[in-house]
Amino acid sequence: MNKIKVGVVGTGFIGPAHIEALRRLPNVEVAALCEVTAELAKEKADGLGIARSYTFDELLKQDDIQAIHICTPNFLHYSQSKAALLAGKHVICEKPLAKDLHEAEELVKLAAETGLVNAVHFNLRYYPLARQMKSMREKGELGEIYSFIGSYLQDWLFYQTDYNWRLEPDKSGDSRAIADIGSHLMDILEYITGLKTVAVMADFNTVHKTRKKPLKAVETYSGKMLQPEDYADVPITTEDHANVLLRFDNGNKGVITVSQVSAGRKNRMSLEISGSKKTFSWCSESPNEMWIGNRDKANEILMRDPSLVNEDVRSTITFPGGHNEGFPDTSKQMFKEVYAAIAEGKQPEKPTFPTFADGYRELLICEKILESNKAQAWVTI
């Protein structure tokens, strides 16, 4: 088998997650790793068992590397995706696709011109029961959609002393909670329901208006108590928490809440979709079960099982019922579809995976949500 050789750019949390998922595909080889310096790239590559390491410009010159995964901070996504496309590489980019709509639009156009495979890592679509909800809705089992209630809650920025590059707008953009986790929620909403969000009304809250930025590298004080002089006070302008009212193109309504300051919620996405026939409810903390609500008979629990889900959902499931699959499997299932396209050498006419165009769509919604919060008014999309 001639394996597709891949280069991964960035080694924070999500880069190694991509690498682990890619290594579970039989037709893919993670051949190279890229970091900001050659020394750091070598250190990280050695730690991850990857033979070759490069800086970004060097990686693009490697003729045998067919696909590039962009797993860097947000402000680098546009320039690195553009450079990779111009170098003739297929591109899988972390979200957000870019920092603004102009950049995202340029990437969508360039990707279309090249015909190269392009994808944005909205991997949460690939929980099997998310696709099951979509499939059941397409078969008419949900009926007309009355409402959507969604939340995405985390606690990793709960304390004033919690700090990360995502708190800095020059690196992450003008929105944080909405752009980071709200984008997943808005993407999966439209993916499952088939609805388009046509207007938004947003209200943000910055709980910690000043945060304590550590002046030492995390590794140097892990497990130790810092002194006041070890911090710098940094003003925060992006949201810790956001509520957004939604209007859909079928005339009905929805609401989402996102928070990065909800104690005890490590990474909890929850969806409740009510229709004229049933209600579907699902939560990422128990991703292998889906609640189905009925008015005139007992409610139901559907367990993730390839023998019980719809036929068009089975490709997203690897293991039999009772053998749980979770977050790492979502990336594997997404990359399986992406690399089937890469094996063909071009972007499909109707991709099953999220593309740069989907990345543009989520940036558009996020920008309108930002605009609404600033105006404290309804904004049309």
Catalytic residues: 95
User: Which CB contacts under 8 angstroms, 24+ apart, belong to 157-160?
Assistant: 157/208, 157/240, 157/260, 157/261, 158/260, 158/261, 158/262, 158/263, 160/208, 160/210, 160/211, 160/212
CA distance 240 to 209: 9
Beta bridge pairs of residue 280: 273, 292
CA distance 204 to 245: 12
Q: Three-state DSSP class for 133?
A: helix
User: Which CB contacts under 8 angstroms, 24+ apart, belong to 25-30?
Assistant: 25/332, 25/335, 25/336, 25/339, 26/1, 27/1, 27/3, 27/339, 27/343, 28/3, 28/4, 28/335, 28/339, 29/3, 29/4, 29/5, 30/6
At 272, give phi and psi (nearest 5°): -135, 115
Find the distance separating the first CA and the last CA of the chain, reported in whole Å: 47
CA distance 272 to 283: 9
CA distance 289 to 234: 42
Residues 46-56, buried b or exposed e (16+ Cβ, 10 A)?
eebebebbbbb
